[in-house]
Structure 1
Amino acid sequence: MADNVILRGQELDLTDRYWRAANYLSVGQIYLMDNPLLREPLKPEHIKPRLLGHWGTTPGLNFIYAHLNRIIKHRHVDVLYVCGPGHGGPGMVANTYLEGTYSEIYPEVSEDIAGMRKLFKQFSFPGGIPSHAAPETPGSIHEGGELGYALVHAFGAAFDNPGLVVACVVGDGEAETGPLAAAWHSNKFLNPERDGAVLPILHLNGYKIANPTILSRTRDGDLESLFWGYGYQPIFVEGHEPAEMHRKMAEALDEAFDLIEAFQTDARSKPEYRDVPRWPMIILRSPKGWTGPKEVDGKKVEGFWRAHQVPVANCRRDDSHRKILEDWMRSYEPEDLFDGDGRLKAELRALAPQGDKRMGAVPYGNGGRLRTELILPKLSEHAVEVGERGSLQVQSTEVLGRYLRDVLKLNAGGSNFRIFGPDETESNRLGSVFEETNRVWLQKIEEYDVHLARDGRVMEVLSEHLCQGWLEGYLLTGRHGFFSCYEAFIHIVDSMFNQHAKWLKVSRELAWRKPISSLNYLLTSHVWRQDHNGFSHQDPGFVDLVANKKADIVRIYLPPDANTLLWVGDHCLRTFNRVNVIIAGKQPESQYLSMEEAIRHCEAGLGVWEWASFEDDTVSPDVVMACAGDVPTMETLAAVMLLHEAIPALKIRTVNVVDLLALQDPDRHPHGLDNQTFDEIFTTDRPVIFAYHGYPSLIHRLTYRRTNHENIHVRGFVEEGTTTTPFDMTVINQLDRYHLALEAIERVPGLAAKVPDVTEKLKDKLAEHTAFITESGEDMAEITGWRWRRV
């Protein structure tokens, strides 16, 4: 026992020195551009002209990293470090540099004085690296620039990774966000038999940017009750004196990993195991800006919000500030940490794990290294036999549900595909997947419950934040997934989409970051079929946000029927490093294209539907009737029928768009149709009446550089909504067949004057519709019974 105590004491002394090395490198990154080992007194020219970065949370993150290294070495486990406080970026870079991972990936940042100089200068510096734990940081799957998502990412990473422990540091500022508060419930979905483990480490250092944090001012007893209620076993580590804190942290981590191992061993060895483990978590209380300056200019810094960013701000111009910085950095005793060449001393290098056990090198932090392709069903096995165009009514998402069922079946052994959604899988007509799997549910299951099981592959919880975050963590660690959601409420994760798209954009520029599977959205229960829910559920604007992103990252698909939806779904599951947005309704709708036609149409992105056009091949059409989206397609086809019946001589071309970004200039998007083909389809001088699923302005944004843009007239959702009939939703937004036909008559030069009777009849039909639904509460039979026919 005495020998073990001595060994632990020696080991923790070394751990303390390793921690000091990480702190030293962290401060150096924030402040220095030269003189990295202080071989001479600090001069103004050694200091960066702009001091950017954050110190306050960093020493605590370094402390945790050093102790996790010890655990990995002792227990030979795989640990992924998720850093919730994105402002701790200098610490994450420092630690991957100390363990050698950083220099392996970036050889120019070598493990010597010259490399340390580059390490310092590049941080938050033009041409260098960001201040957060960004994609450039080895081992990172989470930037933390926007707070709230660390814990949900950690659980997404742990699902189906039975050998992985995700150590997730949650900052006390981040703990005040709604997504993070909901994420604590993720433990109810973590199966100890087949999943890895998540060890939350709630880092309470007292302050946000300029205010105390709620949980840091909460008493230990209340904290214990709170997290016990969430289903965790809190282990407290509190203090500020390093030697005592090292001992406490070592004991806490040993206890936590013992509990994790015990839960997993029981679950994996006892067939009757049905418990929901009370997983451990650590609550670490340490001072903000720990080991930094106690005061600056007579004002409190350590343990206060002034330590948050740059504690000593005027080091270039103020000699006293520069003296504080130099004394601070020398307090870590760099000569005790680095040898004459600037390399970490051998006894400290030995503390870090080796190879892929290093947290900066663990494959889960570069999920493309682990990614395998999905086995996908043949489209022919799910194709809809269309027969006479428009006569067959099918729920297109139900067809996709059967396809996804078979994806689950074909990939059951690989455990690398899950479906995510906020309690809407059945509602969105994807219920066929429950023929193959169930919803994940570890808590009590009543005898009357349906489709609940511990080993389910469908993740449902009524939080879009959790669904999105779980999926992101799952994808970032090398797996595949699919997320279905009501269209109006996908806006809840606008910011999460933003952050993921930015991550992908940067990752694509890093050769060492291997491609990950695409994030695939199915947006259904959409704006045009929310008549029973009303205005609150009517918003198609998510695609406007998506279209703002870098062209090679995003795709937007609006399949008009089941076979096009099948092709799009299959295609999206084959892609990587993308965000794919699919918009398709769940209500019965007409079917137009055979599987062979759907494949050709989708591969082209858009095209002329000759079977729905009435034109002379020798001359240009009088009008182009274009559409994108299932309901706009139906209304356009109905308008074409009305026009042809009323004005047989009118030459009409019908164009359908399934890949929305094919409309964009090819210089702006890789799917953009070349200008010659675009002009051949849309003409260079004829009116184009474009019926679009969403807000009309997006079509103008995408086509403004096209030759005929001034003749493109778009109708779509114009923020008119209510609880009304399906057809009336199109009428109040002037996207219906009558308004589309009227628009065509108005835009074709001279036509309106020739056919005033047609115009009058169309207006009469609108009045008749309004009177009918006001009296009956339902749409007219000629609307509900409409089917395409070529007259």
Structure 2
Amino acid sequence: MKPVQPVGTRVLGPLAPDELDRIDAWWRAANYLSVGQIYLMDNPLLREPLRPEHVKPRLLGHWGTTPGLTFVYAHLNRAIRDRDLSMMYVIGPGHGGPGIVAAAYLDGTYTETYPEIAQDEDGLRRLFRQFSFPGGIPSHVAPETPGSIHEGGELGYALSHAYGAAFDNPDLVVACVVGDGEAETGPLATSWHSNKFLDPRRDGAVLPVLHLNGYKIANPTVLARIPETELLSLLRGYGHTPYVVAGDDPAEMHQAFAATLERCLDEIRDIQQEARGGGRVERRPWPMIVLRTPKGWTGPQEVDGQRIEGYWRSHQVPFADARGNESHRRILEDWLRGYRPEELFDGAGAPVPAIRDLHPAGGRRMSAIPHANGGLLLRDLELPDFTAYAVPVETPGTGAVEATRVLGTFLRDVMARNADRFRLFSPDENNSNRLQDVLEVTDRAWNAETLPYDDHLAPDGRVMEILSEHTCEGWLEGYLLTGRHGLFSCYEAFVHVIDSMFNQHAKWLKTTNQIPWRRPIASLNYLLTSHVWRQDHNGFSHQDPGFIDHVVNKKSDVIRVYLPPDANCLLSVADHCLRSRQYVNVIVAGKQPALQYLDMDSAVEHCTKGIGIWDWASSDGNEEPDVVMACAGDVPTMETLAAVDLLHGFFPDLRIRVVNVVDLMRLQDHREHPHGLSDADFDALFTRDRPVIFAYHGYPWLIHRLTYRRTNHDNMHVRGYKEEGTTTTPFDMTVLNQVDRFDLAIDVIDRVPGLQAHAGQAREWLRNRLIEHRRYIREHGEDLPEVRHWQWQQGAGPRLTTEQPSTRTPEG
């Protein structure tokens, strides 16, 4: 193993000899603490020879990327202190957790946050023992790590998170380390384009550091193996001026990186000053650094004759049997002693003053910067009164209103009142989703070429549109995590692109709910539209309501799902979601013209309850119903009411109860979800023994999953999307999936005891209408007039005879 030598004073550069020595000592200390976290559970300062019991029985963690991360951190500390910068540190290689924990410990933030991890020998013992240990902390840069907004357990999102943090933070510089493994992911590759959406007048800056250490878990990385001219051409094509720092000699690397960092920060300052001088904003290339270092830098060169430093074997734990293998244990001890801990820590085990005082002060420390605990900076939105945007509803089930267009007028005024803390994010779908009214008060963010006939493009625009769900999601997450608010609108079928990003954010929220020092942040709000039931010019590829199923897998204290049936309910739900904290809110609402059911007062009452009986559509009075017709979602609600209308015409004395669900989680047991109904409340709505015909927006088995514990679950018959679809008429989509009014009415006939014996003519009529529907759409290309023009008129459905037989069942 090549020992870590003193850096000396021979190499010329911006660092004076004493400053060079101090930065190198800080770096050695951070690396020592990183190795200790991975391997040791006792003897943290090697005050005695290393024995088996000093080594953890299970070795977990990642070394390979860590020394590069601590190297960058040391130099950023110097720049912050010298320039009085406000700087965040976002790292893509989140497996480098031991390095960032070590940095926060050396900064003093870790002890301030966790007083039991003191800056002494016992604190070091606790620091080492807790890492990747039962009852301790994860191996990633997790929510438990001060200064983090990004857990790198999944790669690809560091750069988009960094830009999200920089938007509307004009004084912030976000240093973002991109690992060369991460750089191979699609989300990361696209997020390089974020610089075309950054306004240097109003936003902060992002300084990417592409860390090329050559290997992933067991393979070389692409960007480390292409010619440097090709790599630099690629990065210049992305809109950056790349500067390369490469080598393995610490003295040379310290001086080279310090000089390069100075140049990059000067360029950032110049770009911002020029833009903020009041003239026209011309996009200039932003600086970035390409840092080439050996993987596992400063670690063992070989173990058991196999290459370690500079090779993939250093990626995780370079050798795994230091407890049971004496030879490995000697290598580990030599490795740790090579950092010369006696120079780094005093007799009590605290970092020596030259290291302990190297960091910036207070909130300038990257581990303590308030932006990384965004709830500290969060300010409430100034929201207009959503009831002022109400759609008049004189008669339920009439009109033809685009619900999301109504929401767009509300969001327009939200944007106008919150120009420094609210943005809309959408993958090229803002106008398609009927939210274009927001463009009356802002433009689309755009800092690339603009042609004279382009529509609403400007560097200071606040509508964030790029045809990448990953990038939009990453921007929004970074924006929220640093204390702002936003909304992501997306086609329902394609929000699945960010399934795993949602996973990570939901896990972050779940974990931070259990960390007292993490302050609540604004909720992540999704508006899913262009949904499964209205794909008028698209087809099967655009039909998938399954994101809801994915969301409800997460912890109940984090997720909420709303299915407002009309525009006024959508306004009420949106206002609630924008005010909320620490949730993921999923709102599903159609953008096509649709019937309206509730005036604003009724909508607020209904949405506040989340579920309720629609008396105006029901015929059970104060009696037990013969059947419950339940619905969730705008199109299923319309089809349910149309079926009820038919049944009222066929069977005037049939007692029907209509239950509409806005808050999907109301269906779950109250012991499983805080919004869940008690059994008594659920039975009061759905009865204990009567058939329930439930028309649901998504996959029907989710309703069964949410209600399986309920007394009347065996009588619950759910209809929803069952993977039948094509490019067809709106009503035909419901017919293909048997959630249409005719099939729902037939279901009632078949399920209500005693009804089928009196319903032969009604059933035949309904079947004939399904046949006529199929013939009509193939001849005319549109739905039957009775379907297209249907509005609610209770009891106006077809009557087959002048006198209907009684449908009272013996028990009724």
Per-residue deviation, 1:531: 3.0
- Provide the secondary structure at the position in 1 that maps to 2:586: strand
Is contact 1:312–1:324 with CA below 8 Å preserved after alignment?
Answer: no
- Provide the secondary structure at the position in 2 that maps to 1:284: strand
Partner deviation per Cα, 1:472-521 (whole Å, 9 max, x = no partner): 00000000001100000000000000000000000111010001000000
| 2:347 aligns with one of 340, 344, 358 | 340
Partner deviation per Cα, 1:559-586 (whole Å, 9 max, x = no partner): 0000000000000000011000000000
Partner deviation per Cα, 1:704-739 (whole Å, 9 max, x = no partner): 111111111000000001011100000000000000
| 1:364 aligns with one of 362, 365, 371 | 371
Per-residue deviation, 1:615: 1.2
| 1:532 aligns with one of 533, 537, 543 | 537
Residue identity opposite 1:596 in structure 2? D
Residue identity opposite 1:685 in structure 2? D
Indicate the residue corresponding to 2:271 in structure 1.
263
| C-alpha separation in 2, matches of 1:253 and 1:5 | 12
Is contact 1:399–1:562 with CA below 8 Å preserved after alignment?
Answer: yes
| 1:316 aligns with one of 316, 323, 329 | 323
Segment drifting more, 164-173 vs 216-225: 216-225
| 1:8 aligns with one of 16, 24, 30 | 16
Residue identity opposite 1:146 in structure 2? E
Note closer, same or farther for the CA distance 1:4–1:297 as it changes in structure 2 (3 Å cut): closer
| C-alpha separation in 2, matches of 1:241 and 1:695 | 59
Residue identity opposite 2:625 in structure 1? P
| 1:660 aligns with one of 659, 664, 676 | 664
2:142 pairs with 1:138:
no
Residue identity opposite 2:195 in structure 1? N
| C-alpha separation in 1, matches of 2:102 and 2:280 | 42
List aligned pairs for 1:185-334, cutoff 5 A. 185-269=193-277, 271-334=278-341
Per-residue deviation, 1:444: 2.1
| C-alpha separation in 1, matches of 2:655 and 2:15 | 90
Residue identity opposite 1:583 in structure 2? V
Indicate the residue corresponding to 2:780 in structure 1.
776
| 2:615 aligns with one of 600, 606, 610 | 610
Is contact 2:167–2:198 with CA below 8 Å preserved after alignment?
Answer: yes
Is contact 1:73–1:353 with CA below 8 Å preserved after alignment?
Answer: yes
Indicate the residue corresponding to 2:759 in structure 1.
755
Partner deviation per Cα, 1:47-97 (whole Å, 9 max, x = no partner): 000000000000000100001001011000011000110110000100000
Is contact 2:15–2:255 with CA below 8 Å preserved after alignment?
Answer: no
Per-residue deviation, 1:7: 5.9
| 1:720 aligns with one of 716, 719, 724 | 724
Per-residue deviation, 1:464: 0.4
2:398 pairs with 1:394:
no
Is contact 2:95–2:152 with CA below 8 Å preserved after alignment?
Answer: yes
List aligned pairs for 1:578-617, cutoff 5 A. 578-617=583-622
Partner deviation per Cα, 1:656-680 (whole Å, 9 max, x = no partner): 0000001000000001112111100
Indicate the residue corresponding to 1:553 in structure 2.
558
- Alignment length (residue pairs): 786
| C-alpha separation in 2, matches of 1:274 and 1:60 | 35
Residue identity opposite 2:773 in structure 1? H
2:115 pairs with 1:115:
no
Is contact 2:44–2:125 with CA below 8 Å preserved after alignment?
Answer: yes
Indicate the residue corresponding to 2:577 in structure 1.
572
Is contact 1:152–1:183 with CA below 8 Å preserved after alignment?
Answer: yes
Is contact 1:368–1:513 with CA below 8 Å preserved after alignment?
Answer: yes
| C-alpha separation in 1, matches of 2:406 and 2:627 | 34
| C-alpha separation in 1, matches of 2:386 and 2:744 | 34
Is contact 1:374–1:574 with CA below 8 Å preserved after alignment?
Answer: yes
| 2:31 aligns with one of 6, 17, 23 | 23
| C-alpha separation in 2, matches of 1:384 and 1:211 | 59
- Provide the secondary structure at the position in 2 that maps to 1:529: coil
Note closer, same or farther for the CA distance 1:265–1:243 as it changes in structure 2 (3 Å cut): same
Residue identity opposite 2:649 in structure 1? E
| C-alpha separation in 1, matches of 2:416 and 2:64 | 49
| C-alpha separation in 2, matches of 1:195 and 1:561 | 37
Partner deviation per Cα, 1:356-392 (whole Å, 9 max, x = no partner): 0000000111000100000001022101111122222
- Provide the secondary structure at the position in 1 that maps to 2:398: coil
Residue identity opposite 2:49 in structure 1? P
Note closer, same or farther for the CA distance 1:632–1:550 as it changes in structure 2 (3 Å cut): same
2:472 pairs with 1:467:
yes
| C-alpha separation in 2, matches of 1:91 and 1:277 | 33
Per-residue deviation, 1:688: 0.3
| C-alpha separation in 1, matches of 2:124 and 2:275 | 46
Residue identity opposite 2:740 in structure 1? D
List aligned pairs for 1:668-747, cutoff 5 A. 668-747=672-751
Per-residue deviation, 1:3: 14
| 1:38 aligns with one of 17, 22, 46 | 46
Partner deviation per Cα, 1:561-615 (whole Å, 9 max, x = no partner): 0000000000000001100000000000111101110011001010000000011
Give RMSD over aligned pairs.
Answer: 1.1
Partner deviation per Cα, 1:415-455 (whole Å, 9 max, x = no partner): 10000001111111111101111101112221111111111
Note closer, same or farther for the CA distance 1:319–1:644 as it changes in structure 2 (3 Å cut): same
Structure 1: runs of 5 or more not aligned: none
Is contact 2:614–2:658 with CA below 8 Å preserved after alignment?
Answer: yes
Instruction: With the length of structure 2 as denominator, give the TM-score of the two structures.
Output: 0.96
| C-alpha separation in 2, matches of 1:49 and 1:748 | 64
- Provide the secondary structure at the position in 2 that maps to 1:564: helix
| C-alpha separation in 2, matches of 1:767 and 1:106 | 70
Residue identity opposite 1:276 in structure 2? R
Indicate the residue corresponding to 2:624 in structure 1.
620
Per-residue deviation, 1:5: 6.6
Per-residue deviation, 1:9: 2.2
2:456 pairs with 1:451:
yes
Residue identity opposite 1:36 in structure 2? P
Is contact 1:55–1:309 with CA below 8 Å preserved after alignment?
Answer: yes
| C-alpha separation in 1, matches of 2:136 and 2:11 | 47
Instruction: With the length of structure 1 as denominator, give the TM-score of the two structures.
Output: 0.99
Indicate the residue corresponding to 1:502 in structure 2.
507
Residue identity opposite 2:718 in structure 1? V
| C-alpha separation in 2, matches of 1:261 and 1:268 | 10
Indicate the residue corresponding to 1:542 in structure 2.
547
Per-residue deviation, 1:351: 1.0
Partner deviation per Cα, 1:181-206 (whole Å, 9 max, x = no partner): 00000010111100000000000000
Is contact 1:266–1:273 with CA below 8 Å preserved after alignment?
Answer: no
Note closer, same or farther for the CA distance 1:7–1:781 as it changes in structure 2 (3 Å cut): closer
Is contact 2:174–2:206 with CA below 8 Å preserved after alignment?
Answer: yes
Segment drifting more, 772-781 vs 132-141: 772-781
List aligned pairs for 1:138-157, cutoff 5 A. 138-157=146-165
Residue identity opposite 2:582 in structure 1? N
Is contact 1:56–1:309 with CA below 8 Å preserved after alignment?
Answer: yes
- Provide the secondary structure at the position in 1 that maps to 2:248: coil
Per-residue deviation, 1:224: 1.1
Indicate the residue corresponding to 1:433 in structure 2.
438
Indicate the residue corresponding to 2:799 in structure 1.
none
Per-residue deviation, 1:6: 8.9
Residue identity opposite 1:323 in structure 2? R
Is contact 1:531–1:729 with CA below 8 Å preserved after alignment?
Answer: no
| C-alpha separation in 1, matches of 2:14 and 2:703 | 72
Identity %: 65
Is contact 1:24–1:334 with CA below 8 Å preserved after alignment?
Answer: yes
| C-alpha separation in 2, matches of 1:53 and 1:6 | 35
